[in-house]
Amino acid sequence: MRKLTISLAITGTLLLAACGGSSSSSDTTAAAGAGTGNECTAGKTLTADTLTIGTGNPAYSPWVENDKPESKEGFEAAVAYAVAAELGYSDAAVKWVRTGFDEAVQPGKKNFDFNLQQFSINDERKKTVSFSASYYSTNQAVVALAGSPAIGATTVADLKDVKFGAQAGTTSLDFITNVIKPSAEPFAYDDNAGAKAALEAKQIDAIVVDLPTAFYIAAVELTGASVVGQFPASASTTPDNFGLVFDLDNPLVSCVDTALAALKDNGTLAEIEKTWLSDKTNAPVIAVS
Amino acid sequence: MSTAKISLRGVHKAFGANSVLNGIDMDIAEGTVVSLIGPSGSGKSTLLRCINLLEPIDDGEILLDGVDISLPGLDANPVRRRIGMVFQNFNLFPHMSVQDNITLSPIRTLGVNKAVARTKAVELLERFGLADKVHAFPDQLSGGQQQRVAIVRALAIEPEVLLLDEITSSLDPELVGEVLDVVRELKTSGMTLVLATHEMGFARDISDLVCVLDSGHIIEQGLPSQVFSAPQSERAQQFLERIIRAGRL
Amino acid sequence: MGTITGRRAAYERARKRRSTVVATVSSLAVVTAIVVLVPKMPRWDRVHESFFNGERFAHSLPRLLDAFVLDIKIFAWSMPAIVVLALLVAITRNSRSAALFPLRILTIAYTDIMRGVPIILWIYLIGFGVPGLGIERPWNSPLIWGSVALVLTYASYIAEVFRAGIESIHESQRAAARSLGLSSWQTMRHVVLPQAIRRVIPPLMNDMVSLQKDVALVSLIGPIEILRQAGIDKSKFANFTPYIAAAAIFLLITIPLTRTTDWLIERERRRTTGTRVS
C-alpha cells in the first residue's frame, strides 16, 4: 500500500516534469479539469468526466485483492488506477463495473471504457474488440495437487497422459489443445472455480492458467497444490500479452497507449509488477519441443 | 354341521357410513345354482365380492367347505383359485390376446406349462364355440364373445365355485342368449354357481335356490317356483310386481 | 346408394384439388416473402455474418459432430436408468402393503426434493460434490456423477408420469386379475404396468426429447460436449454460427422424436376416442 502511494507520487512528479519540458507527439499535457481526464480523453469516454473500468466478477488475486478493485490493491487494480492517473483522472473519477470474461470480448457495445481481466491479445479477439498495448506479459503454467501424475514434469512429453482442465474460451484451453496435445481431451469449465473444484475432486490432474494465477491458486486457494512449471516463450508458443480491452476502434485506445508507454518509461509499471507479482515468477520451465 | 360348499353367517359389510350388507345368512350347496335377485343397491354385487374376498367383511363369517376363509389377514390368493368370478363389464385384459388372457393365471399361479395351458384354453374355447378367436384381441370381439371369453378365463384355473356378477347386464339383448347358454352348460356339468342377475326368467329356469335381497337383507329365500310365484314377504312381492309390470318376467 | 357416394366423391375430389392449389400458392408466397424481404431488413448483413456464416458453419461442424457423440452416449446410458428408477418409484408409491410404508415416504420425499431444485444445481452438487468426498478415479468422473444427477432428477419427473398412468388403469382390471388368483405383484407386472406404460408413452417421449437437450448440462462440470464446444468456437471466433450449427444437429435428433410422439398420440387417440367428426 505504501509502496503504491510512493509509486504514484513518483509518477505524478515525473508527469509534471514531463509536461514542463518535452515536446510529446500527442496532447496528453496537463489535466483539463480537476482530475476528470485530459485533452486526449475529452469526449471519448462513456460518461463525461468519468473513467469506467470493467473487471471480472469476482476478480481474483493477485490481480485484484479481496475482490475490491476500488482498494487499488492487486496488480490489475493498481495498473488501472495508474493508467487513470496518467490520463488525468482522480481516484474519485474512476468507476468500476463487473462483466463476465467472455462477454467482454464479444462483439457489441460495451458498458465500460476499458476492461482488464488478464485478456491475452490475439488476432481472433482483435476482430471484435480493440486492445491497448500490452501491460503485462506472462507464460502459461501448470498447477497440480500433490500426488498428481503431472508433478515433476519437465517436458511436454511428460504431460501427455495427464488429464487437464481449463477455463473455456481462454488461451489456456487453446494451449492445452494446440501445444500440449494430451491423449485425453481436456475438461472445460465456465470459470477457474470450476476447474479448481474438479482438481480437488480429482476429476482432473492439472490446470493450465497464466503463471501469476497459478501461484495464487497453489499458494492460497488450494491446499497441497503446487506450480509444476511454466511454459516459456519459444518458437511454438507465444507468451500471453495482457491488454486492456476496448470497444472496437475506440479512439480512447491511443490515449491509453500513450499513458501506458509513459508508465513503462518511468518505471511505474515495473514497480507495480514488483509489488504484486514479484514472488510469482519463479517456476521451473517445462520444455515444449 | 353344515355340508354346504359355501356358508355365510351374519355377514355385515359397510362402506364408510353406508351399510350395504346387514346380516346375511345363506348356504350354498355343492353343485347347485343360487341366484341373487333384488333392486339395485341391495347388495348383490357386494355379497359376491365378499365371497371371493375382493372385499373384506366387517363382521360374520364365510365358510368354504367348513373352513373360515373370512379370517382377517388370511392369504386370499389360494381362495380365489377355488372361487372364480366373472364381471358385468367382462374386464378382459385389452393388451393381451384371448389366448393370453386365458392362460395368464394358470401359468403364473398354478405353474402350468405354457403349452399345456394353451391346449386347455383351446379346448375350453371349443366347448363354447369360440375356437377361432383364440388369437383375437378383446377389442375385436362382440360383447357376447368377450363375456364368454371371460367365463372361459375364469374356468381355466378350474375353480370349484363360479360367481357371476350380472354378467348379461352390459350386453345387447341379442347377445344375452349365447352367454346364458354357457351358464346352462356349466350347470349341466355340475359346477357350483352363484349369480347375481336381472334376468328373472333365466333365474327362474336355472336356479336351485333364489335369494331376494333388499337393503342388505335376504328378504326371501327358496325354490324358484316358490319365490317367483308366491313370494311371502311384502317387499319381495312389490319387487316382483314391478318386474312383471316391466315385462321382464 | 351409388349415386350419393359418387356425388360426394366428386365434390371431395374437386375440393381437394382446390385446397391443394391454395396451400401451394400460400406456401410459395410465404417462402418468397421470407427469402426476399428478410435480407432487406436493416442490419441483416450483421445478423447473417454473426449467425449464419457459411464458413464458420463448415469449420465448426466436424468438431461439433464429434462432441455430439458424447451427448448421445450420455443420453444412451441415462435413459434406461431413468426408466427403471422411475418405474420402481412409481410402483412403490402405488403399493398398498404396510411393509413398504417407509419406502413410500422415501419416494414422496425423493420426488418432492428432486423436482423442487433446478437441475443445474443438482449437476453441481452431485457432479462436483460427491466426487469431492474423495472417490478414486475413474469412479469420480464427472460423466458418472453428472449422469447420476440427470438420472435422479429425470426419474423423479418420469415417476410421476408412470404413477399417473398406473392410477389411470381402472380398478376393475385389478379386480379381474385378483379374482383369477394373481398376486398383487403379478397383477402389477402382467396387467397394470403393460397398460399403464402404453398409455403414458406420449408424455414419456416428451421427457425423452427434454433429456436429449439437458444432457448438455454435463458440460458445466467439465466434459466438452456439443454445447461447450459450440461455446468455445463462439468465443474464439466471436461468431454465433457454431450455436446455430449445434441447434441444427440437435434438431436432427429431436424432430424425428417429436414427430413420432405425435404419431403415437394420434394412434392412441384413434383407438380410444373414435373417428373425428367434421
ipTM: 0.91
Rounded to the nearest 10 degrees, the angle between the axes of helix C226-237 and helix C54-94 is 150
Please tell me the total count of domains within chain A: 2
**Is residue A236 situated within a structural domain?**
no
Q: Can you give the residue range of the structural domain that contains B236?
A: 6-87+160-245
CB contact under 8 A, C224 and A124: no
Residue in chain C nearest A120 by alpha carbon: C236
Q: What domains appear along chain C, each with residue ranges and CATH number?
A: 54-273 (1.10.3720.10)
Residue in chain C nearest A127 by alpha carbon: C238
Statement to judge: residues A20 and A111 lie in one domain: yes
pLDDT at A81 over 50: yes
Q: B216: helix, coil or strand?
A: coil
Statement to judge: residues A19 and A62 lie in one domain: yes
Query: Which whole-number Å values give the CA distances from A279 to A63, A207, A216, A267, in the listed order?
Result: 14, 20, 10, 18
pLDDT in tens, C57-93: 999 999 999 999 999 999 999 999 999 999 999 999 9
Q: Cell 316382483 appears where?
A: B240
Q: What's residue A2's pLDDT?
A: 58
CB contact under 8 A, C220 and A168: no
**Is residue B51 situated within a structural domain?**
yes
**pTM score:** 0.79
Do chains A and B have 3 or more beta-carbon pairs under 8 angstroms?
A: no
Q: Which residues of C93-129 are buried (b: 16+ CB within 10 A; e: fewer)?
A: bbbeeeebeebbeebeebbeebeeeebeebbbebbbe
C274 φψ region: left (φ > 0), alpha (ψ -120 to 50), beta (else): left
**Is residue B110 situated within a structural domain?**
no
| pLDDT greater at residue A31 or residue B117 | B117
pLDDT at A142 over 50: yes
In the numeric block, which cell numbers belong to residue A129? 474488440
CB of A107 within 8 Å of any CB in chain C? Answer: yes
Q: What's residue C91's pLDDT?
A: 93
Q: What's residue A26's pLDDT?
A: 43
CB A284 within 8 A of CB A154: yes
Tell which of A230, A250, A271 closes a domain. Answer: A230
Q: Can you give the residue range of the structural domain that contains A116?
A: 2-137+241-280
CATH of residue A176 = 3.40.190.10
Statement to judge: residues A132 and A189 lie in one domain: no
Residues in chain C, how many? 278
CB contact under 8 A, C182 and B104: yes
Statement to judge: residues A193 and A77 lie in one domain: no
CB of A242 within 8 Å of any CB in chain C? Answer: no
| Average pLDDT along chain B, 249 residues, taken 10 residues at a time | 81 93 93 92 92 93 92 89 94 95 95 94 92 93 93 94 93 88 90 91 91 91 89 86 80
| Long-range contacts of A197-201, Cβ-Cβ distance < 8 Å, separation of 24 or more | A197/C128, A197/C132, A198/A165, A198/C128, A198/C142, A198/C221, A198/C222, A199/A143, A199/A144, A199/A145, A199/A165, A199/A225, A200/A145, A200/C132, A201/C128, A201/C131, A201/C132, A201/C135, A201/C140
Closest CB from C172, C194, C271 relative to B87: C172
Closest CB from B54, B87, B93 relative to C191: B93
Which helix (H) or strand (E) is A188 found in, with range?
strand A187-189
Residue in chain A nearest C67 by alpha carbon: A185
Residue in chain A nearest C125 by alpha carbon: A197
Alpha carbon of residue B23 to chain centroid: 20
**Is residue A44 situated within a structural domain?**
yes
CATH of residue B181 = 3.40.50.300
Statement to judge: residues A121 and A156 lie in one domain: no
Chain A residues closer than 8 Å to C141 by CB: 203
Statement to judge: residues A8 and A70 lie in one domain: yes
CB contact under 8 A, C180 and B157: yes
Q: What's residue A19's pLDDT?
A: 46
Statement to judge: residues A195 and A276 lie in one domain: no
Interface of B with C (CB under 8 A): 49, 52, 54, 76-78, 80-81, 84-85, 87, 89, 91-95, 104-105, 108-110, 139, 150, 153-154, 157
d(CA B57, CA B19): 11
CB of A169 within 8 Å of any CB in chain C? Answer: yes
**Is residue A218 situated within a structural domain?**
yes
CB B35 within 8 A of CB B74: no
pLDDT at A12 over 70: no
pLDDT in tens, A230-253: 888 775 566 789 999 999 889 999
Statement to judge: residues A54 and A116 lie in one domain: yes
Query: Which whole-number Å values give the CA distances from B18 to A145, B9, B99, in the listed order?
Result: 73, 20, 40
Rounded to the nearest 10 degrees, the angle between the axes of helix A268-277 and helix A252-265 is 80
B118 phi/psi in degrees, rounded to 5: -65, -40
Q: Which residues partner with C222 through β-bridges?
A: none
pLDDT band with cut points at 50, 70 and 90 for residue A28? very low
Q: What's residue A13's pLDDT?
A: 53
Distance of residue C174 Cα from the nearest chain B Cα, in angstroms: 9
Q: What's residue A3's pLDDT?
A: 55
**Is residue A285 situated within a structural domain?**
no
**Is residue B143 situated within a structural domain?**
no
**Is residue A287 situated within a structural domain?**
no
Q: What is the mean pLDDT of residues A177-181?
A: 91
pLDDT in tens, C222-276: 999 999 999 999 888 878 899 999 999 999 988 998 898 888 888 877 776 666 6
C residues 164-223 lying closer than 8 A (beta carbon) to A: 219-223
Closest CB from C178, C190, C194 relative to B54: C178
CB contact under 8 A, B77 and C182: yes
Statement to judge: residues A164 and A222 lie in one domain: yes
**Is residue A235 situated within a structural domain?**
no
CB B56 within 8 A of CB B11: no
**Is residue B204 situated within a structural domain?**
yes
Please tell me the total count of domains within chain B: 1
Q: What's residue A258's pLDDT?
A: 93
Closest CB from C50, C142, C238 relative to A198: C142
d(CA B57, CA B59): 6
Statement to judge: residues A125 and A168 lie in one domain: no
d(CA A181, CA C216): 24
pLDDT at A27 over 50: no
Closest residue by Cα to residue A179 from A243, A106, A96, A236: A236
Statement to judge: residues A125 and A255 lie in one domain: yes
| pLDDT greater at residue A151 or residue C51 | A151
Statement to judge: residues A129 and A43 lie in one domain: yes
pLDDT at A22 over 60: no
Which helix (H) or strand (E) is C196 found in, with range?
helix C193-199
Q: What's residue B211's pLDDT?
A: 94
Chain B residues closer than 8 Å to C176 by CB: 85, 87, 91-93, 150
CB contact under 8 A, C190 and B78: no
